[in-house]
Structure 1
Amino acid sequence: MKLIGDLKWRYATKKFSNKKVANDDLKKIIEAINLSASSIGMQTYRLFVIDNQLLKKELGEGSFNSQIAESSHLLVFAAFDSINQEIINNYIEFVAKERKTPVKDLMGFKKTISDYLLSKTDEENFIWSAKQAYIGLGTALIAAATLKIDSTPMEGFDADKFDELLGLKEKKLKSVVILALGYRDEENDYLANQKKVRLPIEVFSTKVS
């Protein structure tokens, strides 16, 4: 299975070269993220793709993650800060349009979603949305690996700074995790030629019959 080999090849890149990711490959990664599994299918997060070098440098100032500024492209996963009836209504209308189904036929589905999500606090729904973003992150890591594009997922960033510079608050979003894309600098990345360390399958996985 080629995917296993690709996953053995990937690692959290520490130093990137100055080689840029091609637009066609970037589009494939973005499409893969968009096709990720998502609870209720609502995709309650958004993806921001940053190519601007000056902006990447500004976003990375003060962070111990030099990959923010060094990356070819930086992906920012931002979750909805709350969920209201309007968001649910818009989603139901979108599903009806895409599946060519009358909205009235989706009223049961809409009620189930509304009862579930609107009974929760904004913080609970934000956490739920952030978890959806992490599923997208996982898909991005796999997609990049299949294209032999290096990546580094990061939580060590100033979320408030990202939210401000990207205008996320006005969009009712909060940044939750970021992903640097590019190509490894094999001469300067101490991990580039190190063996990947993972638990043996028999230790990591338990079969329950």
Structure 2
Amino acid sequence: MLKALNWRYATKSFDDKKLLPEEKILNLKRAFNLTPTSYGLQPLKLVVLSDKTVQEKLYKASFNQEQVKTASHVFVLCVEKNIDQLFIENHFELVKQTRRTPDEVLKPFRDFLIEDFSKKNSKQLKEWATNQAYLAIGNMLTVCALEKVDACPMEGFDAKSYASILGLNTSKIEPVLVMPVGYRAQNDEFSKFKKVRRPLEDVIIEINN
């Protein structure tokens, strides 16, 4: 695991002649779906793109960051915008069907969440959902490292342009993170740089008996 994490880096240029096999893409989709989220609500959608014409358009909406157009695939992580009573009820219905949990057991927690989320405004809901997207992209980056798939997590892009280019229904979902994936280009100088991290003793606080 640690060897894989040391191998990975934020890839700046991909070999645009090499495509990821579908099995690796499927594993990344599964990693996204298996990501732990707050309350298990999964307020996320994942757009999976492998179209060079569209990627060229996204490149311009990504402040000309090359990895978007040279990647084998581009993952766009989106947050749900309608995290309301129906959304929560649908989640608990899925729990009920999957685990055969009696409704009377689920009701107190379901009612608590409905009340709690009803108090949040749209900005607070987006912030909460975006935090879950960061959990997902972290999970996916780890799987990329284990699968020897190169990737680059990105925040720098025009979300409105992305939504327009991808034809997303912005009343329902909003792009918040982007992750191009593929195989690093041989001339990507960043692949040769040593990883820079603070010493372990500077970032770890231990509290012992």
In structure 1, C-alpha distance between the alignment counterparts of 2:4 and 2:171, rounded to whole Å:
36
Partner residue of 2:6?
A: 8
In structure 1, C-alpha distance between the alignment counterparts of 2:29 and 2:134, rounded to whole Å:
14
Return closer, same or farther for 1:45/1:109 CA change in 2, 3 Å cut-off: same
The answer as to 2:58 corresponding to 1:69 is: no
> What aligned pairs does 1:168-183 form with structure 2 within 5 A after superposition?
168-170=168-170, 172-183=172-183
In structure 2, C-alpha distance between the alignment counterparts of 1:84 and 1:178, rounded to whole Å:
25
Q: Displacement, 1:15?
A: 0.9
Partner residue of 2:24?
A: 25
In structure 2, C-alpha distance between the alignment counterparts of 1:125 and 1:192, rounded to whole Å:
37
Partner residue of 1:59?
A: 58
For 1:107, give the aligned amino acid: K
| 1:85-122 Cα deviation digits (max 9, x unpaired) | 11111111111111122334311111111121111111
In structure 1, C-alpha distance between the alignment counterparts of 2:36 and 2:142, rounded to whole Å:
13
> What aligned pairs does 1:41-190 form with structure 2 within 5 A after superposition?
41-62=40-61, 63-170=63-170, 172-186=172-186, 188-190=187-189
TM-score with structure 1 length normalisation?
0.94
In structure 2, C-alpha distance between the alignment counterparts of 1:64 and 1:167, rounded to whole Å:
20
| 1:158-205 Cα deviation digits (max 9, x unpaired) | 10011122233356111000001011112x211111111111101121
In structure 1, C-alpha distance between the alignment counterparts of 2:167 and 2:102, rounded to whole Å:
36
The runs of at least 4 aligned residues of structure 1 exceeding 4 Å deviation read none
Structure 2 regions of 5+ residues with no counterpart? none
Partner residue of 1:39?
A: 38
In structure 2, C-alpha distance between the alignment counterparts of 1:130 and 1:194, rounded to whole Å:
30
SS of residue paired to 2:140: helix
Q: Displacement, 1:80?
A: 1.3
Contact 1:56-1:68 within 8 A present in 2 as well: yes
In structure 2, C-alpha distance between the alignment counterparts of 1:38 and 1:167, rounded to whole Å:
26
Contact 1:82-1:123 within 8 A present in 2 as well: no
TM-score with structure 2 length normalisation?
0.94
In structure 1, C-alpha distance between the alignment counterparts of 2:38 and 2:71, rounded to whole Å:
30
Q: Between the two proteins, what is the percent identity of the paired residues? A: 32
Structure 1 regions of 5+ residues with no counterpart? none
For 1:59, give the aligned amino acid: L
SS of residue paired to 1:76: strand
For 2:57, give the aligned amino acid: E
Contact 2:163-2:170 within 8 A present in 1 as well: no
SS of residue paired to 2:175: strand
Report the RMSD for the aligned CA atoms in angstroms.
Answer: 1.3
For 1:8, give the aligned amino acid: N
Q: Displacement, 1:41?
A: 0.2
For 1:184, give the aligned amino acid: R
